Amino acid sequence: MKSALHNMNPAAKFIVVTICMLTMAFFFNPWTPLLMWIGVLLIQLLFSRIDWKLWILFMIPFLIMAFGYFWTTLVFAEDKSGPVVLSIWSINITEVQLNHALSLSFRVLAFSGLSLLFALTTNPVSFILSLMQQMKLSPKIAYSILVGYQFLPVLKDEFVQIQQAHRLRGAMQDKNAIRRLLHMRKILLPMLAGAVRKAERAAFAMEARGFTGEQRTSFYKVIRVGRLDGYLVSLFMLLLIISCTSVLYIN
Amino acid sequence: MLKSWKLKEVVLMSLFSVVFGIVYLLFLHVGNIWAGFIGPIAYEWIFGIWFIVSIICMYIIRKPGAAVISETIAAAIEVLLGNAVGPRLILAGIIQGLGAEAAFAATRYRRFDIWVLMLAGVGASVFSFIYGYFLGGFTVFSTGYVLLMFGIRIASGAVIAGIGGKAVVDGLLATGSLRGYPITRAKKGEARA
């Protein structure tokens, strides 16, 4: 039960989460995204074992962003009709404006809730394998992404090394933020040059081991679609229907 | 489409996407915090950053699909790294990549000068703005505000992605590590690639 979301087929999870997000874009009332967010939280509480501390850490920037959306929508609203509900410093805020602002902020929260559900319960490697096995992603691209993914720690080390090399030769960190941004090029170029060489080596190694990039029928690690995926997809669809029809019964 | 691609080109694209995926993620967090204070317009200034990998890869590899596939991989890497924008980034990546790809396709993959690269940045801006308009719910903002956002995004796409992308590749070309890729061959005038 607690591991259901972790065991769900990654491609199915990806599609369902994307559908939920795209559907949210059609709704401009505060209730639909709010219900979606709460529902996603509940599903996560029941069917996953995620690190909630990490979840909160990821959520903080989005709370700030939701606030940004909130006040921007209030100030730069298009539709200023409806009765005035409150006024701050002689600015009148109408009901429509407030609803739109709340809706957009909750939408940010619902989006990040759905994304975190996906990010925290999905193994990256099985996600790519699942895209290849269930969604016909070309093996050439799929395995290349995996190669790139495996190089991440190497690239991180290289980044630190280049920085240290710069410091060793007396290139100081600039205080000026714009100059520092331009300085990024000096780190980016050696990293990219290194990436080109690594890509070449990896590609030769893959070809030397007989990788042709053709579509396959059998895989070493098989990702399956099962009954569990059916249940979870229906659960998400139910949540989507409940939150979309909320306008009809709340008021 | 991938038939004519060498494996080393695909892997190169993937590794570049990893490097820029990290850069993208960095800017996403900066943009998020900033957006809290000045609203969604905060992203528009730096939006060009998110198109840069498609222009860089197309400028180097010069094959149909280089822009859209690289941008999609970069988005996929961002998702793999784990972040709270999540799976819809992949969709955004495809759409931005298609915008850049459209500009190159319009010149039938023959011209790769600074104007076409800037046009690709503008194309990515237009496509991504339409997507953002829909998903971000920009319809509730006043027309003037939306037009301002649109203008800034186009300028950012042309300058950061177009001019910036060219600057990065030209610097990389000077290091000599791009030997064996279409850009070097085209510079020598051997082949159109």
Residue boundaries of the structural domains of chain B: 2-188
Residue A190 · residue A162 · CB < 8 Å: yes
CB contact under 8 A, B11 and A197: no
**Do A107 and A166 reside in the same domain of the chain?**
no
Domain membership of residue A129 (yes or no) is no
Distance from CA of B130 to the nearest CA of A (A): 13
Domain membership of residue A144 (yes or no) is no
Residue A45 · residue A116 · CB < 8 Å: no
**Do A232 and A187 reside in the same domain of the chain?**
no
Q: Is residue B193 scored above 50 in pLDDT?
A: no
pLDDT in the model for residue B143? 86
pLDDT in the model for residue B99? 94
**Chain B partners within 8 Å of A68 (Cβ):** 35-40, 42
Distance between CA atoms of B70 and B47, rounded to whole angstroms? 17
CB contact under 8 A, A192 and B140: no
**Chain B partners within 8 Å of A189 (Cβ):** 168, 171-172, 175
Could you give the percent of chain A with pLDDT greater than 70?
Answer: 92
Q: Read off the pLDDT band of B3 (50, 70, 90).
A: confident
Q: Is residue A153 scored above 80 in pLDDT?
A: yes
pLDDT in the model for residue B77? 85
Q: Could you give the 3-state DSSP secondary structure of residue A93?
A: strand
Domain membership of residue A29 (yes or no) is yes
ipTM exceeds 0.95: no
Q: What is the mean pLDDT of residues A45-68?
A: 87
Distance between CA atoms of B179 and B186, rounded to whole angstroms? 11
Residue A11 · residue A224 · CB < 8 Å: no
Mean pLDDT of chain A: 86
Distance from CA of A48 to the nearest CA of B (A): 16
Domain membership of residue A77 (yes or no) is yes
Q: Read off the pLDDT band of A239 (50, 70, 90).
A: very high
C-alpha torsion A35→A20→A116→A96, nearest 10:
-50
**What is the tally of structural domains in chain A?**
2
Query: Most A CBs within 10 Å: which of B2, B6, B8, B14, as the mutation test of the A interface?
Result: B14
pTM for this prediction:
0.84
**Do A101 and A10 reside in the same domain of the chain?**
yes
CB contact under 8 A, B39 and A104: no
Distance from CA of B138 to the nearest CA of A (A): 9
Mean pLDDT of chain B: 86
Distance from CA of A132 to the nearest CA of B (A): 13
**Do A179 and A89 reside in the same domain of the chain?**
no
Domain membership of residue A27 (yes or no) is yes
pLDDT in the model for residue A251? 62
Helix (H) or strand (E) holding A29: none
**Do A59 and A112 reside in the same domain of the chain?**
yes
**Do A112 and A158 reside in the same domain of the chain?**
no
**Do A103 and A76 reside in the same domain of the chain?**
yes
Q: What is the mean pLDDT of residues A203-213?
A: 89
**Do A8 and A115 reside in the same domain of the chain?**
yes
**Do A199 and A230 reside in the same domain of the chain?**
no
Distance between CA atoms of A160 and B111, rounded to whole angstroms? 37
pLDDT tens, position by position, A108-149: 889 888 988 888 898 889 999 999 999 888 888 899 999 988
Distance from CA of B2 to the nearest CA of A (A): 8
Q: Is residue B186 scored above 50 in pLDDT?
A: yes
Which domain range does residue A167 map to?
154-208
How far is residue B41 from each of residues A178, B47, B50, B71, B78, measured CA to CA in Å? 20, 10, 15, 22, 22
Domain membership of residue A130 (yes or no) is no
Domain membership of residue A145 (yes or no) is no
Could you give the percent of chain B with pLDDT greater than 70?
Answer: 94
Distance between CA atoms of B51 and B155, rounded to whole angstroms? 12
Distance between CA atoms of A63 and A52, rounded to whole angstroms? 16
Q: What is the mean pLDDT of residues A212-219?
A: 80
For A104, the closest of B5, B81, B137 (CB atoms) is B137
Q: Is residue B191 scored above 60 in pLDDT?
A: no
Q: What is the mean pLDDT of residues A176-192?
A: 79
DSSP A175: S
pLDDT tens, position by position, A22-56: 888 888 888 899 999 999 999 999 999 888 998 89
Q: Of the given ranges (A67-81, B54-68, B171-185), which has the lowest mean pLDDT?
A: A67-81
**Do A19 and A106 reside in the same domain of the chain?**
yes
CB contact under 8 A, B11 and A144: yes
For A61, the closest of B33, B91, B167 (CB atoms) is B33
Domain membership of residue A103 (yes or no) is yes
For B80, the closest of A61, A149, A196 (CB atoms) is A149
Q: Read off the pLDDT band of B84 (50, 70, 90).
A: low
Residue A20 · residue A114 · CB < 8 Å: yes
